[in-house]
Amino acid sequence: PKMAGDFAVQVGAVFVLCIYGGVVQAATPNIIIMLMDDMGWGDLGILGQPEKETPNLDRMAAEGMLLTDFYTANPLCSPSRAALLTGRLPIRNGFYTTNDHARNGYTPQEIVGGIADSEVLVSELLAQAGYRNKIIGKWHLGHQPQYHPLRHGFHEWFGAPNCHFGPYDNKATPNIPVYNGSDMVGRYYEDFPIDRASGESNLTQLYVREALEFIDRQAASAQPFFLYWAPDATHGPLYASRGFLSTSRRGLYGDAVRELDDGVGKILARLKNNDQHTNTLVFFTSDNGAAMVSRTEGGSNGPFLCGKQTTFEGGMREPAIAWWPSRIQPGQTSHQLSTVMDLFTTALELAGAAPPSDRVYDGISLLPTLLNGTEVDRPVFYYRGNELMAVRYGLYKAHFWTWTNGQDERSRAEVCGVQAGHAEAGGAGGQSQGSAGAGRAAVQHVRLRSHELGASGL
């Protein structure tokens, strides 16, 4: 496996006392990140989905903290995952494109190959700090073995290097492989069936079982663990197991959401059964917004404009829940501007580990927010490819570059309020000259801070 190189790691010993807001933490905490695929901000009952088909996630929010202003780093699967695991914007970690104002925002693995060896992932740093790490589900940071997760700090893997696209003819294009550790154990549509006609597949059940078994083993070992649970049932082509098919009023997409919600409930229950719940931070979110191209077979971005592939709020603002009984007080809602890259920084602080000091990071620790309810001012940058599309600061967002479905581009800067989200649809959202002026002043403040922040493209 790749070594991280020269960096300082401060290992948090099992009985080191870490005090946050008067609460004493007596053991190195476990960390679970649940990353959904193409799930929208509006897909959860707690965020207004009228069918209320996510009882476990809604309960998770009631028992923890709902973060309403949480963002991905890119409106596409692969670069957003690279940002989460490296703590760095895609423009820094190499998962971006450079053509025609980011019209091709995708980063096909055939172009970039995979995550660079020079990047140090949170899994590598947690392994150095004594954690046992497992990824379940979609990796998407490189197809070839030299890019796989076991070479980047993960000790265990059950899943695939890409999404469950297919089926292919297995001649000119083979079906995508599924791995258990370093061993390929089959392929989608062959050894791991997905019925494209009915949508039936048992994959989510396999991913839930793998998570439960890992939690059981780690509870018995008393070794801290990092579980990266990344199922992809809500990414087209959709699937759900037989017990969940045709159970949702939202169609197959709703079936998939209901099964994932059920899996979340089982994972949290297993933590409680193993008496690990008070020593485990669980964070639930999505890699990008719901895919509008999927129409009735996709998710909901609630009140926000557009979705996946775009840097409007619907493509970048994600559902987010933090759960840690006895540490995070129940029933909280936070409006802290936060991003997937903050999970990198937060995990390292929990582990008592420090990242390499030779590069710029884009995340902040969320522990003051999660444990004390603290909120701080900070900007959020919206990139697609190498293009800085927009910036949010406070309640205002400036669009520097947008595009339509035609050839007429809009490149003038527009400022809109984003508290209601849908104001984006009308540029300045019908706001007064005074509020728009305040927004431009906020964006100017971000520009002035760009050197301090090390932000690219400003």
Cα–Cα distances (Å) from 415 to 130, 324, 422, in that order, read 46, 37, 13
What is the C-alpha separation between 394 and 445, in angstroms, rounded?
A: 11
The CA–CA distances, whole Å, from 97 to 116, 122, 199, 252, 288 equal 15, 24, 33, 33, 17
End-to-end alpha-carbon separation of the chain, Å? Answer: 36
Q: Are strands 65-67 and 332-334 parallel, antiparallel or unpaired?
A: parallel
Q: Which helix or strand (DSSP H or E) is residue 127 part of?
A: helix 122-128
Tell me whether residue 152 is one of the annotated catalytic residues. Answer: no
Question: Are the C-beta atoms of residues 330 and 59 closer than 8 Å to each other?
Answer: no
User: Which whole-number Å values give the CA distances from 93 to 85, 115, 278, 354, 361, in the listed order?
Assistant: 10, 8, 34, 18, 10
Distance separating alpha carbons of residues 97 and 337, to the nearest angstrom: 26
| 119 C-beta neighbours (distance < 10 Å), count | 22
Angle at 186 between CA 184 and CA 192, to 5 degrees: 140
CA proximity to 163, closest of 127, 215, 201: 201
* Residue 159 region by backbone torsions, left for phi larger than 0, else alpha for psi between -120 and 50, else beta: left
Q: Which distant-in-sequence residues (6+ apart) come within 8 Å of 263 by Cβ?
A: 204, 207, 208, 211, 231
Distance CA 295, CA 251 (A): 12
Residue 163 is among the residues annotated as catalytic for this protein: no
CB 317 within 8 A of CB 419: no
Single out the catalytic residue among 77, 163, 306, 416: 77
d(CA 435, CA 58) in angstroms, rounded, equals 34
Q: Give the amino acid at 348.
A: L
CA atoms within 13 A on the CB side of 175: 18
The residue with tokens 């989200």 is 421
Tokens read off for 393: 């600061």
Instruction: Write down the catalytic residue from 18, 101, 140, 306.
Output: 140
Q: Which of 332, 271, 279, 336 is nearest to 61 (CA)?
A: 332
- The residue type of 138 is K
- Give the active site residues: 77, 140
